[in-house]
Structure 1
Amino acid sequence: MVTGDAAYIKKINRSLIIRKIIKEGMISRADLSKAVDLTRATISAQVADLLEEELIIETQLEHYSVGRKPIMLSLNNQAGYALGIDLDYGQISFTLSDLLGKPVSSTIIKVNTVDYSETLHLLIEQIKKYKAEFTDSRYGIVGIVIAIHGLVSKNEVIHYVPRQQWEDINLKEDLEKEINLEIYIENNANLCAFAERVYKHHETDNLLCTTLYSGIGLGMMMNNEFFRGHDGYAGEAGHMIVVPGGKPCNCGNKGCWEKYSSESSIFEYLSNKRKIENLTYEHIQNWFNEGDEEVQELMEQFIYYLSIGLNNMINMYNPDVLVLDSELLRMYPEALNKIRENLNSSISHYRELLISSIGKKSCVLGACALAIQNFLDVPMLSLPYER
């Protein structure tokens, strides 16, 4: 039994109620009382507060065959908006969602600079546009989460971003000086893992998500929380050495995993070998369709080294679910089965291995979801996913 002062207990009960309403979509007061094991009087008082705050709404079921039509409770998804931002090299993706994580507006801006001051100005300008445009709700924009493709400390300072060469930058503080909104900074792989947990794997407590695009990132959800390590830098699995003395990496080591099993390594090799400056997924898909032997061999090698790293991740963390986020794997026939065939150690244990069905949107959707979770002050969300 939970003990503590009345305000603390009320906060816990409120969290239970909000989370259950979101998970069920629609639920009556009576069913809610049973589901969260709280008295009807407690439910009535909490629901009255949430209705007054416009966080939930009531709907009467029209088609109900027996007795009185029950009044159903659901989250008021139009009460506010969450803004997710993926701050990547060469482009910034903005997605605004409602309080159920459904995107209502998305923008991608190409960026031709790595200068921090210019990037900061661009962010401020775009955020102010969103803030001005979406004021037609009770709470407006409830929070902003920015995904960083690099090291983010526990106090949300950007320690290092390899491709932009940013070091020890306090983007959160710089933005909050100009914008009166809640700002959160988070590693991109963590947000991908969060999106998988929130939108797809609602009953999974321990989840790993490996992103394979510009490098290799590892997002880790352990007991429904981010696993960050001592300073917040855990998850840099791309710089695990899989080939001692191998290809040199920007981190200073040789033979890092991401030099062999990231999509950028494939694109870089084929772009140089075939003299194609702006290589696309379409090029590679056509080569797959044509049965191009060199590309087939390259993908087999990609999967071989990917499997080595995954085997290490599985043995270290024993995840329930392991999600791979890669467009190349989605395109390549039998990719998942080939990976599974390489994971044949008798001591490697996991329940499910799969390729992400959310894909490249997972980072920015995870950012929206984290902003919603912080606003609603619940320990975990289960949101519906719509393609």
Structure 2
Amino acid sequence: MITGDAAYIKKLNRSSIIRNIIKEGMISRADLSKVTDLTRATISVQVADLLAEGLIVETQLEHNSVGRKPIMLSLNGNAGYALGIDLDSGKISFILSDLLGQPVSTKSVELKTNDYDKILPILIEAIKEFLKSTPESEYGIVGIVIAIHGLVSKDENIHFVPRLDWSNIHLKADLEKEINIPIYIENNANLCSFAERVYQHHETEYLLCTTLYSGIGIGMMMNDEFFRGHDGFAGEAGHMIIVPGGKPCNCGNKGCWEKYASEASIFDHLSSTRKIENLTYDQIQAWIESGDEEVIDLMEQLLYYLSIGLNNLINMYNPDTLVLESELLRIYPDSLEKIKANLSSSTSHYQGLLISPLGKGAVVLGACALAIKNFLDVPMLNFTLENDA
């Protein structure tokens, strides 16, 4: 039994009620009392408060049986919005979602510089445009979460971003001087893992998500919490050395995993050898479908080195679900089966290995979901996308 002062208990009860309303989608007061193990009187008081605040709405269901029509409770998705931002080398991506995590609008801004002092005003201007254009609601934009492809400390300072060559950047503090909305800074792989947990794998307790885009990062959800490590830097598996004395990496080491198994390693190689500056997935897919030997060899090497790193991660963390975030894996035939065939160690145990259906939208969806979670002050969210991200 939970004990404590009245305000603390009320806060816990409110959190439990909101979480279960979201989890069920629609639920009656009576059923809410059962799943939360709270008295009907407590449910009645809390629900009245949430209705007055505009956070939930009532819906009266039609039914054919005799008696009173059931009144169902659901979260009011239109009460506010969340802004998720993916800040990467070359581009900033945005998604505005409602409070049910459904995308409302998207935007991307191309970057022709890695200079922080030039990117900061671009980011501020884009955020202010969203503030102006967001539909009117009770709470407006409830939070902004920005994904960073690098090391983010527990106090949300940016320690290092290899592809942008940023060190010790205080983006959160700089934005708070201009934007009067709660702002959070988080590692991109963590947000991808959060999106997978929120939108896809509602019952997973140990989820490990590996992102392969601009580098390699891993995000780990363990019992609905991020696994961050001592300073918050856990998950930089891309800098695990798999080829001693191998290719030099921006981190200062040689032979890092992401130099051999990230999408960037493929794009960088083909851009260089084929003299193409803005290489696209469609071009690579066309080469794969035509049987281009160089591209096929590069993809097979990627799968080989990817499997080595995944084998290490599986043995270290023993996840029940392992999700791969990669567009190249989606377009390369039988990629998942080939990876599984390479994970043949008798000590490697996992329940599910799959390629994420969320695609590159995972990171910004995860960012929106984290902003909503923080606003509602609940331990976890269970959403389902109405349409593909």
TM value normalised by structure 1 = 0.98
Deviation at 1:335, TM superposition (A): 0.7
Change beyond 3 A, Cα 1:64–1:383? farther
- Matched residue, 1:130: 130
Distance 1:230 1:66 in 2: 60
Deviation at 1:64, TM superposition (A): 4.2
- Matched residue, 1:268: 268
Distance 2:42 2:172 in 1: 38
Distance 1:135 1:338 in 2: 46
1:245-264 per-position Cα deviation (integer Å, ceiling 9, x unaligned): 11111111111100110011
The alignment partner of 1:243 has SS state of coil
Q: Which piece of structure 1 moves more, 288-297 or 107-116?
A: 288-297
The number of aligned residues is 387
The residue type paired with residue 7 of structure 2 is A
The alignment partner of 1:34 has SS state of helix
Deviation at 1:309, TM superposition (A): 0.1
- Matched residue, 1:295: 295
- Matched residue, 2:203: 203
The residue type paired with residue 62 of structure 1 is E
Deviation at 1:135, TM superposition (A): 5.6
- Matched residue, 1:212: 212
The alignment partner of 1:360 has SS state of helix
1:41-87 per-position Cα deviation (integer Å, ceiling 9, x unaligned): 11101100100110000010024434211001000000000011111
Deviation at 1:344, TM superposition (A): 1.0
Q: Does the alignment pair 1:189 with 2:189?
A: yes
Q: RMSD over aligned Cα, in angstroms?
A: 1.1
Distance 1:154 1:94 in 2: 23
- Matched residue, 2:234: 234
- For residues 231-380 of structure 1, what are the structure 2 equivalents within 5 Å? 231-380=231-380
- Matched residue, 1:83: 83
Q: Does the alignment pair 1:157 with 2:157?
A: yes
- For residues 26-45 of structure 1, what are the structure 2 equivalents within 5 Å? 26-45=26-45
Q: Which piece of structure 1 moves more, 290-299 or 225-234?
A: 290-299
TM value normalised by structure 2 = 0.97
Change beyond 3 A, Cα 1:295–1:375? same
Q: Does the alignment pair 1:73 with 2:80?
A: no
Could you tell me which runs of 5 or more consecutive residues in structure 1 were left unpaired when the two chains were aligned.
none
1:226-260 per-position Cα deviation (integer Å, ceiling 9, x unaligned): 11111111111000011111111111111110011
The alignment partner of 1:301 has SS state of helix
Deviation at 1:273, TM superposition (A): 2.2
Distance 1:359 1:23 in 2: 24
The alignment partner of 1:78 has SS state of helix
Distance 1:201 1:281 in 2: 27
The alignment partner of 1:144 has SS state of strand
Q: Which piece of structure 1 moves more, 252-261 or 119-128?
A: 119-128
The residue type paired with residue 321 of structure 1 is T
Distance 1:369 1:211 in 2: 18
The alignment partner of 1:104 has SS state of strand
Q: Which piece of structure 1 moves more, 157-166 or 255-264?
A: 157-166
The alignment partner of 2:42 has SS state of helix
The residue type paired with residue 83 of structure 1 is L
Q: Which piece of structure 1 moves more, 110-119 or 83-92?
A: 110-119
The alignment partner of 2:79 has SS state of coil
- Matched residue, 1:144: 144
Could you tell me which runs of 5 or more consecutive residues in structure 2 were left unpaired when the two chains were aligned.
none
Deviation at 1:145, TM superposition (A): 0.3
The residue type paired with residue 51 of structure 1 is L
Q: Does the alignment pair 1:7 with 2:17?
A: no
Deviation at 1:2, TM superposition (A): 0.8
Distance 1:218 1:136 in 2: 37
Distance 2:299 2:66 in 1: 60
Distance 2:263 2:15 in 1: 40
The alignment partner of 1:146 has SS state of strand
- Matched residue, 1:21: 21
The residue type paired with residue 199 of structure 2 is Y
The alignment partner of 2:177 has SS state of helix
- Matched residue, 1:58: 58
The residue type paired with residue 174 of structure 1 is D
Deviation at 1:282, TM superposition (A): 1.1
Deviation at 1:124, TM superposition (A): 1.5
Distance 2:325 2:110 in 1: 22
Deviation at 1:289, TM superposition (A): 1.2
Instruction: Determine what percentage of the aligned residue pairs are the same residue.
Output: 74
Distance 1:46 1:242 in 2: 54
- Matched residue, 2:221: 221
Q: Does the alignment pair 1:95 with 2:95?
A: yes
Distance 1:237 1:188 in 2: 13
